[in-house]
Structures are given as C-alpha cells and as structure tokens.
Structure 1
Amino acid sequence: MSDTDSVAGDSVAGDSPAGGTAVAEVPGGTALSARWRPTPAHTRAIVVSLLLLGIGAVMRRPDAVALGTPLAVVAVWAHVRRPTVSPVVHAWLRHSVLREGQTTAWTASVEPGPGVEDVGLAVTETEFTRYTPTSQAVTVGDVRGGPVRLDVFCQSMRWGLRRLGPATCAVGSAFGAHVWEPGPVHAPLVPTVPLPEAFSARSPAPDPDGLVGRSRSRHQGDGSELADVRAFRFGDRLRRIHWPVSVRTGELHVTTTYADEDSEILLLVDAMQDLGRSTGFEGEGSSLDNGVRAAAAVAEHYLRAGDRVGVQVLGAHQSPRLAPGLGTNQLRRILDVLARVRVADGGVVDEKRLRGQLQHPVSAGTLVVFLTPAVSVQVLAHAAQLARRGTSTIVVDTLPRTMATGDLTDEQLAGLVPERSASATARLAWRLRLLERSREVSRTRLSGVPIVPWVGPGTLDLVMRDIARQRRSPRVVTR
C-alpha cells in the first residue's frame, strides 16, 4: 500500500457498489430515540370512515356505509396492532476521511420490535457526491425476521470538506398507520483528500542542502556516486582504495564520492482565484483542482525520495503554513491541508493576507514551486523576486488548457462571471485579461523564472536540469 492509500486509514477487502475501495470502518453509531405517532394517512382514514359512517346512519345511505366500513376496519385493525415498544436504531457514517473517488456509506442498524413491518433510510443530496442507489434512499419491507441493516453509499467526487447528509431513518407499523421517526442524523465535515495525479521526476532537486537523502550534493562526502580518484592521504579509509589504479601506478589511490543530502521543497498553492468549472475527479478540473492535485503529486514524489516538503496555500483563510518535514506523517499533514483549501473571496482582507504570506522567509537551498493560474500579479512578482535573490524557483501553470483561449463557451464563461453578466462584453474582458496575463508571464520569464504547464510525469525534469546547470555557473544575485 502506498503512502497516499494509507492516508484515510487501513483499507478493507472488496469494493463498494458505488465503485472505489472503502477504508476502515468507524465502529459504533448514534443511538436514535423517538416516539410512535400516527401518520397523516391513519388520521385521514379514521376521520373519513367516521364521516362516511355518520352520513350513512343519519341520511340512510348504504353506499356511504359501504365506503366507510373498509376504512373503519383497517383503522381499527391498525390501532389494535400498533407497536408499543420503541425499536433499537443506530445510524452512523462509516468513515471520517476519504480520498477522491472513494466511497463511504450511511448505515442504519435496526432491531425491530413487535408490530414493525418496514424501515427506511434516506440521505440528503450534497454537491460533488454520487449515491447508490441514485434515489438516495433504501427501504426494507419485511423486517419480522430479525435485525436489519440499511446502507446508502456515497462516493465523494471532489477534494475538499464534504458534508455528507444528514440522514433520516424511519420505522413503520402495519398499514403505515404509525411511524417512529427520529430527527436527522448529522455527521461532521468529512475531509476528502486530493487524489495525486501521476507524477515522477528523474532529475533531483538542484541544490540539496540537508543531512541525509538521495539527492547528490555538489560537495564531496560519504555517498554512492563516484566523484574522483586521487592519491591516498592520511586518514582515508582502506575500503576506499581503488586497486586497479593503485596497481597500475604503483601508488595507493582512493575513490571519492559526492555526499547524499536531502532537499527542501516548498509548494506555494495559489488559491486567490479558481478559474474554470470543476466536474469532479473523473471530469474537467478548474485551476484550483489542478493546483491542489499537482501539489499532492509533487509532495508524494519527493517525500518518497527522502526530501523535506512544506506547503503554503496563498490567499486561503485558516490555512496554516506547513513547515518542511519528512515521511508518511508529513504527507498526511500536507493532504489534510490541501483538502481544507477554500478559494479566497477576493476582498481587501484576502489581499492583505496574501501580502503577509509572501513575506515569509525562505531558507537557503530551498526549491520553491509555485502552482498558480498565473493571473495574480503579486504571485508572479514574488516568484521573480525570489529568483533574483538566488532561490531556485519554478512556476507551474495550472490554468486549464480550454481557458487559455479567448473563445470560451457559455458554460466556461459562466464559471468566470455571474450568469447575468455572461455576454459578449465579458468574453472581450477575458481576452484582455489573457493579454495582460501573457505580458506578466513574459516579464516573469525574463527575470529568470521558468514557467511550465502541468502535464504530469516529467513536468519538472527539463526545468530542474537547467536550474542545476545555472547553479553551478557564476551568477549575480540581489540581497
């Protein structure tokens, strides 16, 4: 099992009906309580039967008596068979953390008492959730055989904090005359962590500056990659002796290696805008979708390589800066931070928050990766400033390809402006904004910052090789 698969807990065998493997079940549930009460149908049957029988007796109408007698018999029979003991019902949501595309379930466990004939469970529809059954409700018509269990499966289709439910359970008596219906059961917000896209990078980070790791340092030390063969010196270890060269020259020679160090990667996710329309992990993604999933993929790759990874969400409210760390626990923390990202409102407070976040210092040797749709001037200016200071900086363009052209469909345009403002003027305004974006991107490239679109595996390989060559050559930096 990979680190990402273990974020939501230990997996269980088997696939759920809605598709997607569920994670460890949360035991227990909420015990529900209510009282038996007559249903409106039972009340109507009593009233109508009494009315028809009264009309038949007073007005001597046998037809009214014929119509009212069956209703009276059913009402009396239902009243005699009414349940007197409350059933034992527990309801719960199985999982507290999900991944995109993963399935959980609202579950109700019912131990019916005498007089109970049917039970039902219904779940309120929420955005970016797929239900099985599609009606979001399930019923069992004959429960006289013993305890029953009902499940409504919910598949989370997009990262974020999902409110699944609430769920409502109801128990009915014979003829639907009495119902035992407690209030809706609410569950806490369920974090849905982003599903990392396929990503791999063969090139190591350009400037490792740690203690241990897999990245080759520019300095010689104990490592695995050969650096040079030189004459033996006092203090060299015997296991470093290179015997072929020593025999050929008649003097002892030893091998030297490059040190293996870890790198520090800082991921800056731009949440100031969310351009495009998101349809879930199986469909099209918005700019924020691309940024969050790309950040998860990059973090997973470098953490597996033994590097230190940190993350900062720019412009998001209540999203703390996560200091660089190592290991599986760091990946869990990063995915949890990404799952709670909310796009900024675009107000003055968000602009001040962005300026404060950009003022955080970046330690030497850190590789800074901006994941942004490249429409925020402040973000691009900060990337150029870091590059001038000598910090290795890369900008990953997360703007959807379909949004990079001026010919937008009405549906795409509705994701940028309110529907009442979607017109030819709005389309022209977006074309002008793309021209400004192109100018800012060109200006940022001229300052030495590479800007690449997100394409999955190999996105950063060529760029990091170029940065590594530049780091080995003399350069002028701004302090």
Structure 2
Amino acid sequence: MSGPVGSRLHAHWQATPAHVRATLLGFLLLATGVLLRRPDAVALGAPLVVVAVWALALRPNRSPEVHAGVRHTVLREGQATAWTTTVQPAPGAEDLGVALLPTPHTSYTPASRAQGAALTPDREPTRLDLACQSTRWGHRSLGPATIAVGSAFGAFTWEPEPVSSEPVSTVPLPDHFTARAQVPHPDGLVGRSRSAHLGDGGELADIRPFRFGDRLRRVHWPVSVRTGTLHVTATHADQDSEILLLVDAMHDLGRSSGPGGTSSSLDNAARAAGAIAEHYLRTGDRVGLLVLGARDLPRVRAAAGNNHLRRLLDVLSRVRVADSTVSDEKRLRGQLRHHVGAGTLVVVLTPAVSVQVLAHAVSLARRGVAVVAIDTLPADFGRPDLPEDRLAELTSVQDHPVGARLAWRIRLLEREREMLRARDAGVPIVPWTGPGTLDLVLRDLGRRSRAPRVVSR
C-alpha cells in the first residue's frame, strides 16, 4: 500500500489530565512555599512548573494529518488485513497510539490490539499497522479504533472520535469439491454436460451406417474400410445445467472456531455451497442461490461465469441465522413459493432440523424435480451422548443438563423420522464429505430419470 488509507480525521489539541494536575500542583506548591516560607515545597513545585511551562511552549499550533482505515474490504476465511493509520505530523507532535476494540471472529497482532510509535522528527509520514485476521465468514466492521497523537511530555493530545472501518466482507472458504457424475437433466444450449439426446458434441455415443445429411467429417474410416460400407460417429450433444442451491439459515447448531477447527451447521452449509457453486461454474453450468430464513437477501438468479461466483460468495458472506420469530416463519413460507424450472438440480443444504425445509424438498421431488439434500449437521451432534461442552452450544439451559440432554435426544429422534420420510419420498440425504459427495446420488438420479414414473402436477 503506497498511500493513506481510509478517511481523514479531524480534532483539536487538548490538555491532558496529567498536564492539568502537574500545573495546578506545581503552582500550589510554589504558593505554599512562598507564603509559608517552606523551601521544601518550593523545591518540589518548581520542577513541575518548569515542565508545565516548557510543555506549553512546545504545544503544537496545528493539527496533524491523519488517515485511518483497513487495507482490504473483501477477505477469505483465514486471510488477514491491516488496520492502517498514517500520520503526517505537525510541529510539536511526538508520538502516536492506536487501540482497537475487539470484533467477533477476528484475531489481532499484537494480541493487546494496541500499538504505539514515535513520530519521525524529519516530518516524514509515519504508518502504524495492526494486523487483523478474519477467522469466520461474515459481514462486519473492524473496531472502532481510538487514535491519539501526543505532544512533548504528554501534555497535549490530539484525539478524534473513535472511528470504525468500512464493512469488511469475509467470504466463505469453499471446501474441496469435485463431481464426476453428470447432472440428470441438462437443458441449456451451451456447456459441457452430456445431454441425453444425440447432437454435435465431444462424447462418443455410437458408430452407425451413413445416412443422407451426415457430415463427412463424421465418417469413421477404420470401420468403413473394414465393413465395406460407410459408417459415421454419433455423439451426445453438449448442454449446460442449472443448479439451485437452497441454504437453510433457520438454525445454526454448533460453535465456529475458524478454518481447521470446529464448524457449526451454518458454516458447513456456506462452505459447501461455495464449493459446489465454484465447481459447477467452472464446468460452464449455471448456479442460483436462495437462502431460506435470511433477512434482506434476495434470491440470486442462475447465471454463469467468474463474476457470478464472486456474487454468490458475497451473498453467502451476508447470511445471518434467523431469530426463530413469527416474522422469520412468514418469510420462510414466502421463500418456499419460489419457481423451479424444468431440468433444474436442487441442492438443499440443511441440518435437517427444520421440518418446513425438508417438506419443501419432498414437494419438489414429487413434482419431478431432481432434489439432493446435504446434511450439514456437525458429525458429533448426531450422537445421543453429547458431551456437556457441546450440549451447552445447543441450549441455554445450564441448570438442568439432564433435561437438556433428554430434549436433544428427542429432537434427534424427530430428525431421524423426518429424514426417513424424505428418503421414502425420493429425496436422497447425504452428509457433506467434500469431493465425491454427490457422485452416487447423481448417478442414481440419472438412472431414475430415465425410468417411467408418476408425478403430481
């Protein structure tokens, strides 16, 4: 970074309480010594008065030029930025101090979140950096920061109002994900997904006898020479697919400690959604996103390209868990009335705790839509004998751990019942395991799509 960062700050020089105390005490001791003829009081007060007068003579006569802000406003999980304060000192300014208030899911270097530096006497700009590492996806501001410039002897300070940074967006760090199985119903005009129909493409389907209208470049000469009749190659058409990601933000179970540590259910959903979107967008498919239960997050229409990936990750960074209020339930019911086009693969990322979300997946499957549900509940939360520290993350009941454990066991039984109903209705539910998570279920959906079945209209 070559220049100042953030906005310019404004304030006025003010005397510090220490300077005021030293001045008053010095003159009080001098007056006491003169009136009461106490040379010891004069000896104690004279240095204080001399320093106070000296500091007043060195008082800066103009404000320094201070810029403060963050270097980067978009990060990935685990990446760090710096809160940078740049000072063009005024005559008489000698030191600079910066202190940041703590921000959730952010670690600082130094850990005290405070740092100071001496201003250069040659009037060169002085820069002070506080490293800030974002340990979880989200949309938050760093700080606010308290900035102070001091004069000689700490007699006067230039201290503006606490300043907050621009909102810093930390996008989810996508997990590693690959899928070799084809999407069941590709319906676009371009792409690299294999169509069920023959056409101009790159994947061989069959070698058949020549018919009127076949292109000469499709002639397969080895088979034609061997059989004595002209044969051509038939290929599958290349089409793109539409993938709709439904992220369940009605509940967030577990505690997040950043990449490489423990993850909550919403962490798993956001990172898995980012990984799936990145994979299919790189293969030329179209990806859309709808966050169920989140406020002020519109549906992202299906599109393709790298810019669309950045748009999806930015929306995922703004996801906030619902408050389980009546308005959240109404918002969820309105979101569940979204349109799903023919041939769309719907991927539902949910901890399978919300009954409405699973019921919506079942209704989509009964309408003939290809639906896959990914279970984002942390693995250790599926155990009935949940440890006490993990149980505390699920409930605020601290005085009755036995009752809390029993309530969680009942909730697990209800969850298993709803998941069994969804599977019986044709919605496969798989845990998130990274690469290959969707391969088996996509192959099964592809075979199922080619078989006759009855759907509800």
Q: Does 1:100 align with 2:59?
A: no
CA displacement 1:335-362 (0-9 Å, x = unmatched)? 1110110111111111111111111121
Q: Distance in 2 between matches of 1:153 and 1:251?
A: 74
Selected match of 1:354 from 321, 326, 332: 332
Q: Distance in 2 between matches of 1:442 and 1:26?
A: 60
Structure 1, 318-327 or 183-192: larger mean CA deviation: 183-192
Which SS does the other structure have where 1:285 is aligned? Answer: coil
- Give the TM-score normalised by the residue count of structure 1: 0.92
The 3 A distance-change label for structure 1 pair 421 and 478 is: farther
Deviation at 1:111, TM superposition (A): 1.3
State the match for 2:362 in structure 1.
384
Match of 1:443 in 2: 421
Q: How does 1:39-50 map to 2 (within 5 A)?
A: 39-50=16-27
The aligned length equals 456
> CA distance change for structure 1 residues 25 and 216 in 2, over 3 Å: closer, same or farther?
farther
Q: Is the 8 A contact 1:26 1:96 kept in 2?
A: no
Contact kept in structure 2, 1:94 and 1:107, CA below 8 Å: yes
User: What percentage of aligned pairs have identical amino acids?
Assistant: 64
Q: Is the 8 A contact 2:64 2:88 kept in 1?
A: yes
Q: TM-score, normalised by structure 2?
A: 0.97
- For 2:235 and 2:372, locate their aligned partners in 1 and report how far apart those are by CA, in whole Å: 29
In the TM superposition, what is the alpha-carbon distance from 1:29 to its structure 2 partner?
2.8
Relative to structure 2, which stretch is displaced further, 418-427 or 319-328? 418-427
1:400 paired with 2:378, answer yes
Partner of 2:448: 470
Equivalent residue, structure 2, for 1:72: 49
Task: Give, in whole Å, the separation in 2 of the partners of 1:267 and 1:398.
Answer: 13
For structure 1, list consecutive stretches of 5 or more residues without a partner in the other structure: 1-23
SS state of the match for residue 58, structure 1? helix
The equivalent of 1:458 in structure 2 is 436
**Deviation of the 1:141 alpha carbon:** 2.5
C-alpha displacement of 1:169: 1.8
Q: Which amino acid aligns with 1:435?
A: L
User: What is the CA deviation profile of residues 421-470 of structure 1, one whole-angstrom value per residue up to 9, with x for unaligned ones?
Assistant: 65211111011000110111111111111110001111111111111111
Residue number among 84, 87, 91 corresponding to 2:68 in the alignment: 91
Secondary structure at the aligned position of 1:393 is classed as: strand
Aligned counterparts of 1:326 and 1:226: Cα–Cα separation in 2: 26
Cα distance, 1:204 vs. partner?
1.9
User: CA, structure 1 residues 116+25, in 2 after alignment: closer, same or farther (shift >3 Å)?
Assistant: closer
Matched letter for residue 297 of structure 1? A
The answer as to whether partners of 1:25 and 1:94 remain within 8 angstroms in 2 is no
> How far apart are the structure 1 equivalents of 2:5 and 2:98?
17
Q: How far apart are the structure 1 equivalents of 2:2 and 2:438?
A: 38
Tell me whether 47-56 or 148-157 shows the greater mean CA deviation: 47-56
The structural deviation recorded for 1:59 is: 2.2
Q: 1:26 to 1:255 in 2, by over 3 A?
A: farther
Structure 1 contact 50–68 (Cα < 8 Å) conserved: yes
Counterpart Cα distance in 1 of 2:304 and 2:3: 28
Offset at residue 28 of structure 1 (A): 4.6
Query: What per-residue deviation string (whole Å, max 9, x for no partner) do you get for residues 263-307 of structure 1?
Result: 110000000000111122232110001001100000000000111
Change beyond 3 A, Cα 1:344–1:25: farther
In structure 2, the CA distance between the partners of 1:72 and 1:87, relative to structure 1 (3 Å rule), is same
1:117-176 C-alpha deviation (Å, 9 max, x unpaired): 111222221110011111112211252133211111111111111111122221111110
Query: Aligned to 2:184, which of 202, 206, 209?
Result: 206
Question: Residue 198 of structure 2 corresponds to which residue in structure 1?
Answer: 220
* Amino acid corresponding to residue 279 of structure 1 in structure 2: S
Q: Deviations over 1:214-260 (max 9, x none)?
A: 11111000011111111211111000011122122222111110011
Cα distance in 2 for partners of 1:186, 1:455 equals: 39
The aligned amino acid for 2:34 is A
Question: Match for residue 280 of structure 2?
Answer: 302
Q: 1:173-220: per-residue Cα shift (whole Å, max 9, x none)? A: 111001111112222321111010111111121221111111111100
State the alpha-carbon separation in 1 of the partners of residues 5 and 36 from structure 2: 60
Q: CA deviation at 1:27?
A: 6.5
How big is each residue's C-alpha offset from its partner over 1:388-413, in whole Å with a ceiling of 9 and x where there is no partner? 22211101000001111122233322
Corresponding position of 1:191 = 169
Q: 1:190 to 1:261 in 2, by over 3 A?
A: same
The equivalent of 1:3 in structure 2 is none
1:374 aligned to 320, 342, 352, which one?
A: 352
Deviates more, 1:310-319 or 1:59-68: 59-68
Residue 110 of structure 2 corresponds to 133
Once the two structures are superposed, what CA deviation does each residue of 1:4-49 show, in whole Å capped at 9, x if it has no partner? xxxxxxxxxxxxxxxxxxxx89965311121111100000001111
Kept after mapping to 2: 8 A contact 1:31/1:90: yes
- Distance, in Å, in 2 between the alignment partners of 1:130 and 1:340 is 20
User: Which one of 51, 59, 63 corresponds to residue 36 of structure 2?
Assistant: 59
